[in-house]
A and B are shown apart, each in its own frame.
Chain A
Amino acid sequence: MLSIDNVSGVHILFPLRLNMDEKCCISLFIQTESQDLNFDSVLKLERKTGASMSLDALISAFQGISAIIHSAPHMVIARFGLIALGILLIYLGKKGILEPLLMIPMGFGMAVINASVMCFDPLNLHGGIGTLFVEAQAGAGSDMTKNAADLIYIMGIDWLQPIYSLTFSNGLIACLIFMGIGSLLDVGFIMSRPFLSIIIAIFAELGTIFTLPIAQMFGYSAKQAAAISIVGGADGPMVLFTSLKLAPELFVPIAVVAYLYLGLAYGGYPYLVKYLIPSKKLRSIEMKADSKASKITSGQKMAFAVIACVILCFLFPVAAPLFFSLFFGIIIRESGIKQFQELLSGPVLYISTMFLGLTLGILCESNTILDPKVLPLLVLGILSLLLSGVGGIIGGYIAYIFTGGKTNPVIGIAGVSCVPTTAKVAQKIVQKDNPSAIIMQYALGANIMGVITTAIIAGVFCSIIK
């Protein structure tokens, strides 16, 4: 068991081996010379023999059990709930009901981290209960985080800490995913119908716009409220980037909530669409194959990507890394450099997504999720995505009216960014009602424009909120 005492130091005591005759305990005593935990470690081995094996010693052999005994009942329930949720996410990911790329690593990380809670908390934040993944613990200040990093260094257990520190908490993973996504996007779909895509995408930002003042009513500052409301943009990398820029103190819970809901949106949006577009006749409207998109050459797409990126970076330099990453992926795709395109759309995208899912799962520890600052985020996050979904459908209806009934309103849901998940959702819904209807091209146009619109909003937030 490990406990912290600023005067006497850190004391770890755990049984190494237990058998009938002998109980072997190892005790690691780490002394602190000053208040800022400058560790001088001394390893002391204790051997106790005889039949005096107490219940305490037996319990301390299984640190998970001793952590349950030392935890508050609601925390124990939450932990088991999150373990069950993690296993459920793996199951739903495997079944294809939720996005498997993200949900399987996330569910696994969530189940494992909530199982591996022990009486270990160098920051003494949650009554001494914690995990080896300490830096991200909710409420940890910068000094505490530094102390935790020192302790982990001394103990020699880094695990996912380097991935978290070097890619996650500095926003690099968001940019890498954006490059990968960019290399999969065909901007020909927005170039052939720019106004239709943009109108749908703007309406699909309803959640982002409305959640900001609502979040302020919950007591969050303008910066924090903006970082929370960007969840409505339904774009994971954008959420990571904006929360790092505007509210780094809420970065972990916002990222966890956003990705958790984005995964659930894949399963939840079809119900929202069917509820808001009850008419099967409307859902099964066939849209003509977009011949304009196929006429646009790769040179034209590259020219658009370069000009749009330069203009957007000029208008919102704060969000330049996002614009740069997305349009760099697009340019690589259209440039015809196969090696780079395969690199970005394959290893870079999938390695980043896998570690993102795993790290997010690891961050879904009960102490983080049940933090009083985090609970309102659960409400605001789902509200934001729900409003964006409703806004997208309204945009779809407006497009339907303005095009004289030629546009299937279901494509509105694709305006809620989350490339290409929502476009796939739209196509699935339509195909279920009318197997011959193909709306994917139009849905992808709105989808890609949704990413660009969310990036613009992120840029606006970062620029106007001081």
Chain B
Amino acid sequence: MDGITISVMTLLLTTVVSLFVAVIISILVKSLLWFSKVNASRKSPSTLANAQKDDLEIAAAIAVAALSRRVLQ
């Protein structure tokens, strides 16, 4: 096989495989985004409740910190 044939074959194969990888990436990203959307819509009320519980805990921690600072003063 001469150099020009090898070069042309390499160019063709590389282009095809690279585009194949690009298509896979696109499909993958789209399908994963779709899955994450589906999961988000299926978020149970308990998850929301947990999030609210976390917020309450943070607020309580801030209040405790403020109180302890006042005590120290």
Contacts and interface: CB of A to CB of B under 8 A. Distances in A.
B18 A456 contact: yes
B28 A464 contact: no
Interface residues of A, number: 43
B4 A464 contact: no
Contact of B2 (A216, A295, A311): A216
Contact of B6 (A212, A214, A311): A212
Contacts of B62: none
Interface stretch (A138-146, A195-203, A418-426): A195-203
A295 B33 CA distance: 9
Which bracket fits the contact residues of B? 20 to 34
A350 interface: no
B15 interface: yes
Nearest to B35: A300
A216 B3 contact: yes
A460 B10 contact: yes
Main secondary structure of the interface of A (DSSP, over half): helix
A226 B20 CA distance: 24
B52 interface: no
B19 interface: yes
Given A209-B7, A216-B3, A457 B32 contact: no
B7 A213 contact: yes
A315 interface: yes
A322 to B, nearest CB: 14
A456 B22 contact: no
Nearest to B1: A222
Contacts of B29: 191-192, 296, 300, 304
Contacts, number: 97
Main secondary structure of the interface of B (DSSP, over half): helix
Contacts of B36: 297
B13 A460 contact: yes
B51 interface: no
Interface string A444-462: 0000010011001100110
By CB atoms of chain B within 10 A, which of A198, A202, A212 has the most? A198
B23 to A, nearest CB: 8
B28 A300 contact: yes
A210 B14 contact: no
B61 interface: no
Interface of A: 190-192, 194-195, 197-198, 201-202, 205, 208-210, 212-217, 222, 225-226, 295-297, 299-300, 303-304, 307-308, 311-312, 315, 449, 452-453, 456-457, 460-461, 464-465
Given A194-B21, A222-B1, 6 more contacts: A194-B22, A198-B22, A209-B7, A222-B3, A460-B17, A461-B6
Interface of B: 1-4, 6-7, 9-11, 13-15, 17-22, 24-26, 28-29, 32-33, 36
- Which 4 A-B pairs rank lowest in CB-CB distance, beginning with the nearest? A213-B3, A216-B3, A194-B22, A194-B25
